[in-house]
Structure 1
Amino acid sequence: MERKSDIRAEIDNARLMTKLSVIGGIITVVVLLIPVLIFGVIKPDLIGSDVFSLGVIPYSLAVVFAFAAMIYGMLNTSAAQEAEEKQLLEKRNDTHALNVEEDVRFTAGRSFENYKKYAPYVLSILGAVLVAAVLVAFSRYWDGRLEKPAVTGAVYGPVASAVFAALSLFAGAFFVGQSRQPAFRWLRAFGAWLLAGFVIMFLSMIVTVFASSGGRLDTVIARVVFVILAILGAEFIVSFIIEFYRPRTIREMRPIFESKLLSLFTEPGGVMRNIALALDYQFGFKVSGTWIYSFLERSFFPVVLFWALIFWGFTMIHEVGPSQVGIKERLGKVVSEEPLQPGIYWTLPYPFGEVKRFSCTEIYQVVIGELHADGEEEAEEVADDGHGHSQPQKKSTGGEPTPVVLWTAAHGSDTNNFIVAVEPGLRSAESKSEDAEGKEDRNAASIAFIRMMIPIDYRIRPDGVMDFAYRNADPVATLTRIGQQAATEYLASTSIMDIMSSGRASAQTALKERIQKLADEHHIGIEIVKVMILDSHPPVEKVAPAFQDVIGAMEEKEATVLKAESYAARTVPEAEAEAARIRAEATSYSYRTKTIAEAEAGRFNTQLVTYRIMPRMFRLKAYLDLLENDCRDIRKFIIASGLDNEVYQLNFETKQQLDLIDVDASALGGN
């Protein structure tokens, strides 16, 4: 009789569970899921909250688990009724020869056992796939939209969120409480996800009430909820995997699709009981009966909550550093437009209050063009600071030296080419390459492409902090585009040879002035410290080899010109010196000849006067001067002119003058 009453109770519980799951599923679909789909996904402008839209996930999972609980209740009812029929058959006298347990007509019990065995695995995979698909859809939608849709009904958001939160709380608490009975255990996952929907709707109510913050609070909380839902979705996979390795008890009570993380909030005591059962199983004795475990069971969650509140309270304290200025915000709105000076400040706890800090002395840097020799560009995303724009990038202090890469070798990206002019008389490298193929385009424009890296160093002005923080959605990206605009405009009006050689310094100065002017026009609130032009060269793929030939020819031309100038510098002074020497010698010869001629003329005039006075005496003196001066070294023989008949013998062997060896020594030593 007792066994029959137990079966009847099981049938009643199974039927009740079926009714509850059907009622709960219908309520979730009609009252919660469909309105959330309409207001959050189909018509997002009615509520205008990303947090509200994420409520689709918990309500969809609740519907899935309600349907699973309904099937569980139906199969359990059939299995219990079958067990009751078996009990009646066992009492009949004519069935003593039959084995009721092996009767092929009784399949409900086996179906129920198979469902309990395999359905949790299917539900776990289905839950993981559902969460992943919806999160991916939301991620693509958020990344693809230009801006959040404008809210058309400012009142609808808080009211709808509050209503859905209340319904989710009451329904979830009821089903979680009902699931504490073993016969209704499969309703626990359904109730837990309804409570998760309550949390999301409660957060949606908060962000829609404070919609004046410009949607920033909604964005931050939506990202947090997104990550939490992703973790809960990953828990399905983790539970599916560890189910094959965790220890089993004689009677397994917890389905694997039931979230342990959600149970921390829906049933903390149940989690502690599960921990106690695991400890008892591992150590072989009742660990849960010790006083240490009893103390932890009573105090663990209050202590964790207490420390969580303390850590959350620390988010109210903010420090503005010595070289920084701060901006105080409350619920996403600026409290005071006057920047905060260095010191300690108090705000509401995060995310309701915050102090944004900016350094006005630190040098930041953005780079226009390629960054690395291997072709990588500065394309990595920078973490958003909460205002929709990224934080400025600090200037790199370096470390290892940058490897030397020839610009004729393949490197860099082909997306940062700038148009520059070509000097008259120097055709572009493209035309040179076409000439080599016999396809010269005589009507080609005198332009060329050049690649370069333009680092822009800047700092935030103290009086421009508000502009930097709130005037532009992304001031760093705005500065990058301003730099690209200024570089494109300036380089189109200059020569490629100037940029690659002597005109680089003036180009850097001109770019700095242009970028500063554009930054002031866009109210970025920064000061341009330095603009540099680095790694300027023509495109590598086709132009660089031909351009290298042109540069080589120009270098050879320059070398020849320098050699000619060197030869001229060496030859011209030598020629000028030789000409000066010749002129000096000619002048000296002219002066000497003229002077000698004048002296000869004067001497001749004097001799003429003397000759005219005493002719014979002049001739005699001239004759004697000839013998004395002109014939000084000539041997002379004097013969009397009156002795005409005399014969003279002249000995020309006689020495003109005596040497020391010809002297008679005996004659010298007579004394």
Structure 2
Amino acid sequence: MAVDRHFFTARTQQVERPMRVDHHAYRRATRVAGLGFMVQIAIALVLLVFGILFPDTVFRFASFYVFGGVLVWLSLLVIFYQHTQERLEALEEDELAAARTGTGSVFESSGGGKVAARRLKLMHSWLIPVVSLIMAVYLAFGAAGMFRYMSRLGDAGQAGRDFLRTDEMGWAIAICLFFAAICFIFSRFVAGMAKLPAWQNLRGGAAYGVGNSLVLLAAAVGLTFRFFDQPQVMVWVAYAIPVFMLLLVVEILVHFVLNMYRPRIAGEVPRPAFDSRVLSLLAAPESIVRSLNEAVNYQFGFDITSSWGYQLVLRSLGWLVGFGVVVLVLLNMMVVVEPHQKAVKLSGGEIVGGVHPPGIMWKLPWPFETAVVYDVGRIRKLPITAQRIENPDVQVWAETIKTDTVWRPFLVGGGAVVTTGDVGFVSDDSHETAFAEVTELYSLVDAEMSVRYRIKPDGLLDYLNFASDQRQRRSRYTVRQNALKALAMRTITQHLSELNLDQVISIYRGELIDSLRRRIQATYDEMGTGVEVVALDVPMLRPAGDVAKFWDDYATAKAQRQEVVAIAEQFVAISMVDWIGDPDQVPAMLAAINEWRRLIDEFGRDGPAVIEKQVEIEKMFSRSGGMLAQLIDTAEADRWVKLMHARAAVFRHRGELAAYRAAPELYKQREIMRTLSANMANRRKYVLVGVDPSRVNLAVKLEETPSLFSFDDALSSDGESGQ
């Protein structure tokens, strides 16, 4: 045992002997960095070309990440090359110093000639931090672009916005696994070199290489799940890549800030900010075990890792892990189905066997078979229409609906208060006329509806075969829920279009909900959904938009309109009775009048047919017995009276004419006297007899004597005379 201890002690001392750091050491690191640079470019180009030739979104995302490592290896190549130049410069300085003998001291050489050393210092001070910031910006913008691409998948009008999946899955898995292994092995090799202080900056390349392995391994896992009809895993991998890049960005920025405030130690090479500490642990996993051992020893206060118990655990670790794996496999094969549940077994996405009732169900371990358990007794709620943000206790139609989605009203028939055939005054424009007709025939209602359903006791297979549980992008519902929602919406829309506004709002509202529930259930049964509709919730049903607050005014106005129309119809009926007598004769009379007018236009007013039709119309009016018949009779009587007066005047004229012819002068004198006697019967007359007219001068004063009963004039006359 003493020999063994001496051997290990000597070996440890041999390993821990410091390595000579000269230009050869840095030249080897430069060659390794150059090899990493070429490997990184080759992997990135292969992934990019494969993702373009055989379209695949994950390969394109992975190539973008791998291209970022090119800058890391390039910066390491430059920095180690400069280290080589600095060592050569220092070697030359030492040789020159040794060659000087007696001419001066070694310390007389000024530092101004160390150009490579100053350039190396500037690179560590500026180049490496700038490269770290460029890496952070590159990864951040790349992750943002990936998230934007994924967020626009399936948008209408966005060409090329489909998630691409290659059909060459075999080649894709082979490329991913091969490059993942290459990157991991190379990273382990570089991480081993980085344990030496002179090569410690190689840890940044090793860490990024481990990142390459993780990304490619995730892509290989997603491709493997595609063989089991699980393509959604590739979408998750596509999301995981930008998330991983953002985490690296955060770590780079944190280390960049910490490096600014970390105190500088003379002769220490600063660690780049792009050197991920987390990925470095994965590149050197033995450091993790060593750290765990040290942590355990520190917690117990002594070297517990050297005790017999700890060693026993280490020797039995394989059996313990195997036993744990067996237990996990057995637990995975056993599925407990609760009393309110039912389950099915899936193999490659296909249902195997039938529906398993409550109890213990055995299956093959994952990934050969999986189990899906459904709660068939739970009542689920599916909103059919848009939902309000707040559901008030009292439904007030005057309040505006508050919702975060577009509210789409239902089309129903016009209300019963609408009078058909009377749309009011409209212009000759066809659009306005059509609008007026539509507003009279149809109405809009706002409704908030939700279906409460559950899986039928014997309908689980129909429920699973109807549609999938996959959730579409930017959708809160699965494909099955969207299908159930569309079927219910179609049924509700069809049934409401068969009813008018009054039936939906008030008359049959109680029966309407039950009728809609039965119709939705019939539609679901017809489509084989395996769903039982328990209830249809309708917390709100009202006229659409802001017109709901005027619903009472509208109904009142319609009632007033009906009242006005009824009064007008009553007035028409009374008028018809007064004027016609028998309102039933009005259509026949109007037809006869229209025929009479047509005959006038055809034969003229004096045509025999026109006169005959006119006589017929007058007889119809006379038989009706109304005021119009009385007017016609009165007009006929007046016509006969005027005719007889005219005839009497004719006969009188004939007699006067015979008298005139017999004695014209005597006839004239007689007529003059008759005229004077007729017109001057009530006039005062003065007769002057026997006086020569030439000697008579008449003074006539046309003054009317006041009446004796005019007291006002008499009093005024007396007052004037008294004065």
Partner of residue 578, structure 1:
none
Q: Does 1:495 align with 2:500?
A: yes
Partner of residue 334, structure 1:
350
Partner of residue 258, structure 1:
275
Give the deviation of 1:455 after TM superposition: 0.9
Give the deviation of 1:338 after TM superposition: 1.1
Greater CA drift, 18-27 or 407-416? 407-416
Q: Does 1:322 align with 2:339?
A: yes
Select which of 211, 216, 231 maps to 2:231. 216
Partner of residue 83, structure 1:
90
Read off the aligned partner of 2:282 and give its amino acid letter: F
| Number of residue pairs matched by the alignment | 508
Give the deviation of 1:525 after TM superposition: 2.7
Q: Does 1:111 align with 2:119?
A: yes
Give the deviation of 1:76 after TM superposition: 1.6
Partner of residue 457, structure 1:
452
Select which of 133, 138, 156 maps to 2:141. 133
Q: CA offsets per residue over residues 33-85 of structure 1, 9 Å max, x none?
A: 11211223x2454xx6x655553255233323211211221222233233334
Partner of residue 366, structure 1:
382
Counterparts of 1:149 and 1:89 in 2: how far apart (Å)? Answer: 65
- CA separation of 1:546/1:244 partners in 2, compared to 1, >3 Å: closer, same or farther? farther
Partner of residue 656, structure 2:
none
2:499 aligned counterpart, secondary structure: coil
Select which of 463, 475, 478 maps to 2:480. 475
Partner of residue 595, structure 1:
none
Q: Does 1:343 align with 2:362?
A: no
- CA separation of 1:519/1:342 partners in 2, compared to 1, >3 Å: closer, same or farther? same
Give the deviation of 1:364 after TM superposition: 0.3
Counterparts of 2:108 and 2:173 in 1: how far apart (Å)? Answer: 64
The question of whether the paired residues in 1 share the 8 Å contact of 2:180 and 2:213 is answered with yes
- Specify which structure has the higher proportion of helix: 2
Counterparts of 1:550 and 1:152 in 2: how far apart (Å)? Answer: 64
- CA separation of 1:516/1:108 partners in 2, compared to 1, >3 Å: closer, same or farther? farther
Q: CA offsets per residue over residues 414-460 of structure 1, 9 Å max, x none?
A: 432222222254399xx99x99xxx9964443333322110101112
Structure 2, unmatched stretches of 5+, are 1-17, 155-161, 469-478, 564-723
Query: What's the TM-score once normalised by structure 1's chain length?
Result: 0.63
Q: CA offsets per residue over residues 145-195 of structure 1, 9 Å max, x none?
A: 446546443432233333323333333333233323222222223223323
Counterparts of 1:176 and 1:348 in 2: how far apart (Å)? Answer: 42
Counterparts of 2:451 and 2:335 in 1: how far apart (Å)? Answer: 31
Partner of residue 512, structure 1:
517
Select which of 166, 181, 200 maps to 1:166. 181
Structure 1, unmatched stretches of 5+, are 1-5, 280-285, 375-400, 560-671
Q: CA offsets per residue over residues 201-229 of structure 1, 9 Å max, x none?
A: 34544543553322336337626844555
Give the deviation of 1:469 after TM superposition: 3.5
1:15 aligned counterpart, secondary structure: helix
Counterparts of 2:299 and 2:86 in 1: how far apart (Å)? Answer: 37
1:419 aligned counterpart, secondary structure: strand
Select which of 275, 282, 287 maps to 1:270. 287
Counterparts of 1:107 and 1:354 in 2: how far apart (Å)? Answer: 68
Q: Does 1:37 align with 2:48?
A: yes
- CA separation of 1:194/1:310 partners in 2, compared to 1, >3 Å: closer, same or farther? farther
Greater CA drift, 470-479 or 80-89? 80-89
- CA separation of 1:139/1:267 partners in 2, compared to 1, >3 Å: closer, same or farther? same
Give the share of equivalent positions with the same residue, in percent: 21
Query: What's the TM-score once normalised by structure 2's chain length?
Result: 0.59
1:338 aligned counterpart, secondary structure: strand
- CA separation of 1:150/1:203 partners in 2, compared to 1, >3 Å: closer, same or farther? closer
Q: Does 1:408 align with 2:403?
A: no
- CA separation of 1:517/1:171 partners in 2, compared to 1, >3 Å: closer, same or farther? farther
Counterparts of 1:247 and 1:415 in 2: how far apart (Å)? Answer: 63
Q: Does 1:527 align with 2:522?
A: no
Q: Does 1:22 align with 2:34?
A: yes
Q: CA offsets per residue over residues 503-523 of structure 1, 9 Å max, x none?
A: 223332343244334434554
Counterparts of 2:270 and 2:317 in 1: how far apart (Å)? Answer: 29
Partner of residue 379, structure 1:
none
The question of whether the paired residues in 2 share the 8 Å contact of 1:161 and 1:204 is answered with yes
Read off the aligned partner of 1:77 and give its amino acid letter: T
Q: CA offsets per residue over residues 270-325 of structure 1, 9 Å max, x none?
A: 35667999x9xxxxxx999952588999999x999969979976666543222111
Counterparts of 1:72 and 1:150 in 2: how far apart (Å)? Answer: 40
Q: Does 1:419 align with 2:411?
A: yes
Counterparts of 2:281 and 2:395 in 1: how far apart (Å)? Answer: 58
Select which of 192, 196, 201 maps to 2:216. 201
Counterparts of 1:480 and 1:118 in 2: how far apart (Å)? Answer: 61
The question of whether the paired residues in 2 share the 8 Å contact of 1:54 and 1:200 is answered with no
Q: Does 1:183 align with 2:198?
A: yes
- CA separation of 1:152/1:97 partners in 2, compared to 1, >3 Å: closer, same or farther? closer
Counterparts of 2:129 and 2:364 in 1: how far apart (Å)? Answer: 45
Partner of residue 585, structure 1:
none
- After superposition, residues 633-648 of structure 1 pair within 5 angstroms as none
Counterparts of 1:488 and 1:90 in 2: how far apart (Å)? Answer: 99
The question of whether the paired residues in 2 share the 8 Å contact of 1:51 and 1:221 is answered with no
Counterparts of 1:270 and 1:249 in 2: how far apart (Å)? Answer: 24
Partner of residue 653, structure 1:
none
